[in-house]
Amino acid sequence: MHDDRTLIEARLKRVLDERIRPAVYPESVPLEVAVWHAPGEPVPVAEGLAAEPQPVEVGARWGAPWGTSWFRVTGTVPEAWAGKTVEALLDLGFDENMPGFQCEGLVYRPDGTPVKGLNPRNQWVRIGTPVEGGEEVRLHIEAASNPVILDYHPFLPTQLGDKDTAGSAPQYTLTRMDLAVFDETVWQLVLDLEVLGELMAELPVDSARRWDILRAVDRALDTVDLQDVGGTAERARAQLAQVLAAPAVPSAHRISAVGHAHIDSAWLWPLRETVRKVARTTSNMTALIEDEPEFVFAMSQAQQWAWVKEHRPEVWARVKKAVAEGRFVPAGGMWVESDTNMPGSEAMARQFVHGKRFFLDEFGIENEEAWLPDTFGFAAGLPQIIKAAGSKWLLTQKISWSQTNKFPHHTFQWEGIDGTRIFTHFPPVDTYNCSMKGSEIAHAAKNFKDKGRARHSLAPTGWGDGGGGTTREMVAKAARLRDLEGSATVEWETPRAFFEKAEAEYPEPPVWVGELYLELHRATLTSQAQTKQGNRRSEHLLREAELWAATAAVRTGFPYPYEELDRIWKTVLLHQFHDILPGSSIAWVHREARATYRRLAAELTAIIESAQRALAGEGTTELVFNAAPHARHGVPAGGATTPAVAGGTTLTARENGGFTLDNGRLRIEVDARGLVVSAYDLAAGRETVAPGQAANLLQLHPDFPNMWDAWDVDEFYRNTVTDLTEAESVLPGEDGASVRIVRAFGDSRVTQVLSLPADEGRLVIDTEVDWHETEKFLKLAFPLDLHAERYASETQFGHFYRPTHTNTSWEAARFEACNHRFVHLEEPGWGVAVVNDSTYGHDVTRTVRSDGDHGTTTTVRVSLLRAPRFPDPETDQGVHRFRHALVPGAGIGDAVREGWRVNLPERHLTGAHEVAPLVTVDDDAVVLTAVKLADDGSGDVVVRFHEAHGGRARATLTAGFQVAEVTVTDLLERPLSAAAAPDRDGDRITVRLRPFELVTLRLRRA
């Protein structure tokens, strides 16, 4: 037989595009349109409906950037259409390739009832099926003219990312506003041909199944009368029935489709627009649930559910109904789909506490899965947090974006730093915006790495990023793929149903130990420094507020600020979303974030000061409050007293310029360039700085990645570096016991103060940068005379080791990594820590010296600032302040202690008396991360702690109050039935911990 395959495939494409798809709507009449442009920010629905619009024609330009326009469309269904299905086609000027990234609308009836959302892939509104003819149509559209930030030529700097700079030029052209007859038979034919055509393209050319489909398609196209598509569509569908009915082979891959709309809580749009995106999407999905009996939709991020409840009660009612039916499923159990690298221990725990509690309180639903499809890598401490929250599964897709190494599994056990394992799935469809294309389904089946042992995978199905969700076309395709020869099978299921099946069929999956590092988007650890600083400081202020408020409540009856703390926690958690904290959102988002963090700092400081005043009373005794989990200067952890008198620090001039700082523990040599050429540990008799090198070295790199400017730093940035060694001045600091260095470079200026606190083994480096560079990367380097093949980075509830070498492509790809408060390097018996108060990105490299001693230089570099121009063209311009400390002679315990110390400075207050800690622990390896009152208002004291050194610990917790009962709980403060109560002797509680083990105790007061 002659090969006519390409001829028929080309025929299918043209006939579909030019004849059959247009015949879905064979008749139409225009609607009358009027518009009212809301001034400023969006208005309440009632105000938009009541406004008096002005007539406007199709073809008119509309929509200033970030504006809201209320369209009113009116018309009459023609009498001749009686008995037919009629829809309104409402095209605001959409580009169908940009769902979620441009203008959108929410359709209302005149009484304010929401109908459904409009987006580039969902432009229809059902008027009637069938209609009687003569019906009056009146609809209102709340249309958001969100500008296109990520365009076909991506990553171009734009001022459109902030309403203050975006201008007022109309963004869109009103394209179509019609009533139209909807021919469902033709629409079904389109879906038949699309599914078969897409499947055919994925099958081997020499397979019989491909040719069976080809011949059936050819017959169907012969049957269609191109001048009367509607009249011949049913007969054409009959030609396809047999190939569509052929069942899948028994070994076919099985896909659980989950309706989905990944909605970034902020990204290329501000938070206030996400509120509306969620309303549009949930309106669409509840409508689709009513129309499609098998469809199941899952939505994560409790914050987004809370927005619907607060801002769109009429939509919320529909959502609650669909949840009750089991069709609209709360997923993930987190407040937002947060970044997981940078949030601190308690913040990561509270993501689950607040997320799971919302779904429990509203629906009585317990989430057992963490749902994080788009997060930029996963910290090694996360498995234990997921388990401690009462969950046991994790889903993500983002690791498939890694540039260098392909992850070896799709379903596996992920083991965290404490040994906890979480059953984890990476959907092999490699997208969280699956649209049921044949290429996507075939890719999932071919790509699945666990063939022969497992056969189930999950496909999050629906338009996302900017929302939109699943379409009726996706549902129709999934119905055809339910059991179709040549394809994987597709079935709508909840996340829970998928995980239960996957876990049952794969009882012994492979294990991956340690972090799930994304080999991409590494620069998100540094971009938007003030957003990151606001997060870090908010976390520590919350710790202080809870600690001192709880202590004051127990001791003095101080009113514990439950509601304020709950609200503030939720605000901080929201800003840990994976495009806010990582610094990858538009200027508007980060401008608002900076203002929010300032407001929260003021609120939390007021709570702290009020509680401390209640505790200290009125008096003249000089007190120091210590919120850190370790004693310092004689002040106990969690208490307040008059500190011990410290020794002094001497500052002397060096012969060749510069200064020497000496406090009896460290001797620091600062040369005439303001660089640290020696950091000598006097007790150990050991030098810290590598021979011939200088620490406190600022280094500047060009920074223009190939893609994803705010997200990425590419390895070639290291090829060019400028050491900033020229100093304008190197002078004694104002206190006479520090060194002040001023440098200028480019259009920027740096002022540093180096100080050596009395009786402490750390060099403190305060850096102020007035930053006005573009596409540059600023690092702070510490070359250390230390031989170490691995180093520790703090992560949630512990630390994680990474190699310093690049033996394999996996290690080489980790050229920029995350730490929390410290990194630590060690030779047996002696180590060095570098601690910080607000930075996350860093790199560690090693080289063997060629100076004759062949020693190893291991260099730690802290990432300070970047200057990408997309999506915020003014990223990080302005003044920034950082604090770091170099700690020679540090063991891992010293690194832990100094990391807390630099983030929780002492607070000074005059009062009447000392304050004893509410809870103490007798082992520095056991770190209290939270001391608070129980969230349920019972007055119970909740204490959360973990083993922080990586070893076994036996410690005694002593409560500073009478304890009636001790209960081991999960993160949500619920009793753990499987956990044995710890040994207790009155108010003394003995605990035994595994390395990095996390424990929460609830102490009922007598």
Active-site amino acid positions: 374
* Radius of gyration of the CA atoms of the chain, in A: 31
Question: Residue 225 CB: number of other CB atoms within 10 A?
Answer: 14
* Element spanning 169, H or E: none
Give the DSSP H/E element, type plus range, for residue 822: strand 822-827
Lateral strand order in the sheet of 907-911: 639-641, 621-626, 907-911
Task: Tell me which amino acid residue 53 is.
Answer: P
Q: Who's near 840: CB < 8 A, 6+ residues apart? A: 341, 342, 525, 526, 532, 818, 819, 820, 863
Contacts of 744 by beta carbon, 8 Å cutoff, 6+ apart = 728, 750
Q: Facing residues of 371 across strands?
A: 395
Half-sphere exposure for 198 (CA within 13 Å, toward CB) = 22
Residues 6+ apart with CB under 8 A from 211: 5
Decide: 449 and 99 in contact? Cβ < 8 Å. no
Rounded CA separation 694/801 (Å): 26
Peptide bond into 130 cis (omega under 30): yes
SS3 (DSSP) at 19: helix
Distance CA 838, CA 338 (A): 18
What's the CA gap between 500 and 507, in Å, rounded? Answer: 11
| Cα-based distances in Å from 646 to 643, 664, 886 | 9, 12, 20
Which token pair is 342?
A: 């940078």
Could you give the CA distance from residue 377 to residue 822 in angstroms, rounded to a whole number?
19
Positive/negative CA dihedral, 480, 483, 484, 490: positive
Task: Round to whole Å and give the CA distance between 581 and 751.
Answer: 26
Instruction: Answer left, alpha or beta for residue 591, where phi above 0 means left and psi between -120 and 50 means alpha.
Output: alpha
Q: Where are the beta strands (DSSP E) in 532-642?
A: 621-626, 639-641
Strands 489-492 and 254-259: parallel
Query: Residue 330: is the preceding peptide bond cis (ω within 30°)?
Result: no
Q: How far is CA 512 from the centre of its chain?
A: 22
Q: Is residue 844 within 8 Å of 826, Cβ to Cβ?
A: no
Kindly tell me the burial class for residue 830, based on how many C-beta atoms sit within 10 Å of its own C-beta (0-12, 13-18, 19 or more): middle
Q: How far apart are alpha carbons 678 and 681 in whole angstroms?
A: 10
Q: Does residue 8 sit in helix, strand or coil?
A: helix
